[in-house]
């Protein structure tokens, strides 16, 4: 009897493990790697998507494009619509492939669109569709996203555009020159009172994609931007250790034709404190970066007085950069530091007395921020 029971169990298992009825053939699927969103005509939105053609005639790796000798490597499609879902239906009418968004690498948003429309409203498809990813990067294009995708799909000697952009962003994020913001992080920060999201900015330059810095967001729209140097200083003030390169002026009494020095940040310790003066908040940052001196004029660097001069010059440069950066944040009404969120958490009575978020926006643009930087050179570079 026991053998009969075992036979029945094995038979049932074999029946249910015979295979998968929902078969997907790679050659018949279009894996969308990039989605571009631009302003269109008649209040519609121009949606651009690109996906590689997986087939024996698609040629070798690279950006590619229509080519008689190698076949079509990357397909680019466009549609004007009111909804992303609507554009998908339009795309299905003109392609023989089943389009899937599970491998989406980045959502590229044209700068004109980012300034005029609510960005997050066009993420809903990815938040609701279980076959789409919410881990794609949110990126603002300095210019037109459709043009970048169309030309980028034809780059020669580079990875697929989605992978290429992802690698460029990752490398520059590690260096502190741009943020790394996906759909989930953007939505969380965008819906939290007292803190504003920031997203990376890129630009098409010839046959290359260049990171230009950071797009500043207020109330779901782009209101300003920082360059890569200002973004690196922003991360210092946030206390986030990045391997950023900082170029600073050498002290006047140090003779050098270059007149500049270069350091790499190795570690940073940042403390911030909010105080109230005459019922108005101020914030002070104590920033202690440890840096590696990478390029500098020859001198007795082991002399404490000489080293102090270099450190003071570096401190002055970073403090000026941070002052300018904070003013840009205020002009854009972008609270990237989350100062309002801290006040809401630790000074709730004050937060309510000023009218919550609307009142905070008026106070934020006028508040004072001070920065005290005390850098320390821990290494002087190496000579081969």
Rounded mean pLDDT for each run of 10 residues along the chain, 384 residues in total: 70 62 57 85 86 58 42 72 77 69 83 94 79 83 93 82 89 92 93 95 92 96 96 92 83 72 86 91 95 73 80 93 97 96 94 94 95 87 54
Report the DSSP beta bridge partners of residue 138: 107
pLDDT at 272: 94
Instruction: State the Rg of the chain over Cα.
Output: 26
pLDDT at 69: 37
Q: Which two tokens mark 350? A: 């004050």
Cβ proximity of 246 and 265 under 8 Å: yes
Q: How far apart are CA 206 and CA 230, in angstroms?
A: 25
| Buried/exposed 218-240: b ≥16 CB within 10 Å, e otherwise | bebbbbbbbebbbbbbbbbbbee
pLDDT at 41: 82
Q: How far apart are CA 162 and CA 178, in angstroms?
A: 17
Q: How far apart are CA 376 and CA 288, in angstroms?
A: 7
Domain boundaries, the chain: 24-226, 233-384
Would strands 137-141 and 74-81 be described as parallel, antiparallel, or unpaired?
unpaired
pLDDT at 61: 43
pLDDT at 62: 45
Q: How far apart are CA 308 and CA 280, in angstroms?
A: 36
- Enter the DSSP assignment of 27: G
pLDDT at 2: 67
Q: Which two tokens mark 134? A: 């919410």
pLDDT at 83: 79
pLDDT at 13: 65
pLDDT at 379: 74
The sign one gets for the Cα dihedral 244, 250, 254, 256 is positive
Task: Write down the pTM of the prediction.
Answer: 0.84
Residue whose C-alpha is closest to residue 311's, from 292, 286, 285: 292
**Domain 233-384 - what CATH class?**
alpha beta
Residue whose C-alpha is closest to residue 209's, from 267, 251, 168: 168
Give first-to-last CA distance, the chain, whole Å: 80
């Amino acid at each position: 009897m026991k053998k009969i029971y075992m036979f029945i169990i094995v038979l049932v298992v074999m029946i249910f493990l015979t295979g998968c009825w929902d078969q997907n053939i790679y050659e018949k699927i279009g894996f969308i790697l990039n989605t571009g969103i631009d302003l269109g005509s008649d209040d519609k939105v121009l949606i651009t998507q690109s996906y590689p053609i997986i087939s024996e005639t698609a040629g070798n790796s690279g950006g590619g494009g229509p080519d008689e000798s190698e076949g079509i490597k990357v397909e680019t499609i466009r549609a004007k619509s009111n909804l992303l879902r609507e554009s998908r239906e339009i795309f299905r009418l003109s392609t023989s492939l089943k389009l899937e968004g599970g491998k989406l690498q980045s959502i590229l948003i044209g700068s004109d669109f980012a300034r005029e429309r609510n960005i997050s409203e066009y993420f809903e498809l990815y938040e609701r569709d279980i076959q789409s990813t919410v881990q794609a990067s949110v990126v603002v294009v300095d210019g037109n996203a459709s043009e970048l995708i169309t030309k980028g799909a034809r780059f020669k000697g580079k990875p697929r555009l989605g992978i290429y952009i992802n690698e460029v962003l990752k490398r520059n994020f590690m260096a502190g020159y741009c943020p790394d913001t996906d759909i989930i992080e953007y939505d969380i920060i965008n819906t939290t009172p007292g803190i504003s999201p920031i997203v990376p900015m890129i630009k098409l330059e010839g046959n290359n994609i260049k990171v230009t810095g950071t797009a500043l967001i207020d109330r779901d729209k782009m209101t300003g931007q920082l360059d890569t140097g200002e973004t690196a200083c922003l991360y210092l003030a946030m206390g986030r250790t990045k391997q950023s390169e900082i170029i600073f002026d050498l002290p006047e009494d140090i003779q050098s034709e270059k007149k500049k020095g270069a350091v790499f940040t190795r570690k940073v310790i940042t403390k911030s404190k909010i105080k109230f003066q005459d019922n108005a908040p101020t914030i002070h940052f104590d920033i202690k970066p440890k840096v590696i001196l990478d390029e500098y004029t020859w001198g007795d660097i082991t002399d404490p007085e000489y080293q102090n001069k270099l450190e003071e010059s570096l401190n002055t440069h970073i403090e000026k950069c941070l002052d300018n950066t904070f003013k840009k944040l205020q002009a854009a009404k972008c609270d990237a530091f989350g100062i309002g969120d801290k006040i809401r958490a630790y000074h709730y009575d004050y937060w309510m007395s000023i009218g919550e978020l609307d009142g905070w926006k008026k106070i934020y643009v006028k508040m004072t921020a001070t920065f005290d930087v005390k850098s320390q050179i821990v290494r002087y570079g190496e000579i081969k």
